[in-house]
Amino acid sequence: MSEKLFKVIIIGDPTVGKTSFVQRYVQDSFKRDYKGTVGVDFALKIIKWSENQTVKLQLWDIAGQERFAWMTRVYFKDANGCVIMFDLNNKNSFLNTLKWKKDVESKCTLPDGSPIPCMLLANKCDAPAREVEQMEIEDFYKENNFIGWTETSAKSGIMVHDSMRFLVETMLRQSDGCKIETNDNSFNLKSTAPEKSSCGC
Ligand code: GDP
Ligand code: MG
């Protein structure tokens, strides 16, 4: 039985839904450890990946400290993967994902020097007041070396597990020594079947 532990950081503008997403994802084995003095919430998700593989995900939720640059180095240290989230109904939060991506690139790399895998998540797809078009996101994720993107709804549970599964798959491949080519191999999740189709997005 082999066990892998990955640190995954969840970043993006305030109120895009990061905490809701983490809670939705981990609720079945939820362990909200503590609100750390550095202003981070940790959650642990244990996944029985296969007969002989367990994956432990330590999810770092920035917990309202998004505006404080002083904590970011600690936050990014030794991260294996990253989720950058925006709110589909808030254009500014989409534009700011570029800033978040650059921040990740400047502050952390994998031991071999390559960038950590980043998923781009377009949250609140259940809400009607959409301000960002799919084509725009599609072009943006390709240009900026995300491993994939998808619409999600932390509220309805849409694509929450699928998006994280894709990130875990990528981290597992990378930890086995495979190089990840973000543009050639990237997987666009937006067209795959949502976990629940209650909101038509
Ligand atoms: P954070 O600041 O990024 O951690 O955002 P929160 O998780 O605290 O969410 C901010 C607000 O957005 C809360 O009122 C949530 O209920 C709401 N919210 C989060 N995710 C969704 C979603 O998928 N759909 C809708 N409609 N609202 C959401
Ligand atoms: Mg939060």
Does residue 117 carry a pLDDT above 90? yes
Q: Is 42 within the bounds of a domain? A: yes
Which ligand 1 atom sits nearest the alpha carbon of residue 62?
4
Task: Find tokens 């995900």 and name the residue.
Answer: 57
pLDDT value at position 4? 95
Residues 6+ apart with CB under 8 A from 50: none
The whole domain housing 31 covers 2-188
Indicate the helix (H) or strand (E) that contains 177.
none
Q: Is 84 within the bounds of a domain? A: yes
Which residue, 154, 163, 174, 175, is CA-closest to 16? Answer: 154
Residue nearest to atom 19 of ligand 1 (CA): 17
pLDDT tens digits for range 14-57: 889 998 899 889 874 444 444 444 567 788 999 999 999 999 99
Closest-lying ligand to the alpha carbon of 152?
Answer: 1
Q: Is 163 within the bounds of a domain? A: yes
Q: Is 201 within the bounds of a domain? A: no
Q: Indicate the pTM of the whole model.
A: 0.87
Residue 87 Cβ contacting ligand 1 at under 6 Å: no
What is the domain count for the chain? Answer: 1
Q: H helices of the chain, where? A: 18-26, 72-76, 91-95, 97-107, 134-143, 160-175, 182-185
Residues 6+ apart with CB under 8 A from 38: 65, 71, 74, 75
Task: Find tokens 């875990």 and name the residue.
Answer: 168
Q: Is 196 within the bounds of a domain? A: no
Q: Is 194 within the bounds of a domain? A: no
Q: Which of 89-93, 185-189, 193-197 has the highest mean pLDDT?
A: 89-93
CATH number of 148's domain:
3.40.50.300
How many residues are there in the chain? 201
Residue 90 Cβ contacting ligand 1 at under 6 Å: no
Q: Is 195 within the bounds of a domain? A: no
Residue 18 Cβ contacting ligand 1 at under 6 Å: yes
- For 21, half-sphere exposure in the C-beta direction (CA atoms, 13 angstrom radius) is 35
Q: Is 197 within the bounds of a domain? A: no
Residue 125 Cβ contacting ligand 1 at under 6 Å: no
